[in-house]
């Protein structure tokens, strides 16, 4: 059984309601069956259909289908890193269309702020299962596949740029969140200043962003 993640970028972010009732959602294709993806893997649609039915019954319908911001290293959903709740996951042909609501959690607020800053976000499914190679060289996901989450939120390369700007400009979404958050942000700002003076910031932006997310 291996940890398997697949990124999908064909999602959109929509806002419903206004003022205190404003809610932000992710909507789009979360999973795709019978298609060789860019990682060279194929998910048989029957395998996905069976697993999505289990996931819906055990998690979505009970309000327990959660996802994180970023790429965790294992199959567990870490509650302190949750950014959104998946509210629906429906099969449409070989695709599985999902909808998720961003939550008022530290990670949910960061995801919302990245969107407000113009960063493009996508989703990535995360699960465990076996793989076998077929006659075309594709890695076919086995019937033992189990979803940990139908969607984590992943950022495109513009996210670290927005993050560095937010650190240097004192943006609320980065700095506000208690003493620990402020301490981590201050440490990151000092490192940015050092890297700028060494003309090495560009190559370290992504690492700084990921380190910040893992430390707050």
Neighbours of 215 (CB within 10 A): 13
For residue range 4-29, list pLDDT tens digits in order. Answer: 999 887 789 898 988 878 899 999 99
pLDDT tens digits for 184-208? 999 999 999 999 999 999 989 988 9
Q: Are 206 and 160 in contact (CB under 8 A)?
A: yes
- List the single range of 83-87, 102-106, 110-114, 173-177 with lowest mean pLDDT: 173-177
Query: For residue 178, what pLDDT band results from cuts at 50, 70 and 90?
Result: confident
User: What pLDDT score was predicted for residue 72?
Assistant: 84
Torsion of CA 101, 24, 10, 141, to 10 degrees: -10
Does the pTM exceed 0.85? no
Residues with active-site annotation: 71, 124
């Amino acid at each position: 059984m291996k940890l398997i993640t697949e990124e999908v970028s064909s999602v959109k972010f929509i806002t419903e309601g206004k003022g205190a009732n404003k809610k932000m959602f992710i909507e789009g294709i979360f999973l795709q069956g019978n298609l060789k993806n860019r990682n060279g893997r194929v998910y048989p649609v029957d395998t996905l259909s069976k697993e999505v039915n289990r996931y819906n019954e055990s998690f979505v319908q009970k309000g327990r289908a959660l996802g994180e911001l970023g790429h965790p290293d294992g199959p567990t959903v870490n509650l302190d890193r949750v950014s959104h709740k998946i509210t629906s996951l429906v099969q449409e042909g070989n695709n599985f269309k999902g909808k998720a609501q961003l939550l008022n959690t530290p990670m949910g607020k960061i995801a919302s702020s990245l969107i407000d800053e113009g960063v493009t976000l996508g989703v990535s499914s995360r699960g465990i299962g076996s793989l076998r190679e077929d006659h075309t060289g594709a890695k076919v996901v086995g019937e033992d596949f189990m979803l940990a989450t139908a969607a984590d939120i992943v950022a495109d390369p513009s996210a670290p740029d927005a993050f560095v700007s937010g650190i240097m400009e004192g943006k609320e979404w980065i700095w506000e969140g208690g003493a620990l958050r402020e301490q981590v942000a201050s440490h990151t700002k000092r490192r940015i200043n050092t890297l700028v003076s060494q003309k090495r910031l560009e190559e370290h932006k992504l690492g700084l962003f990921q380190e910040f997310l893992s430390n707050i």
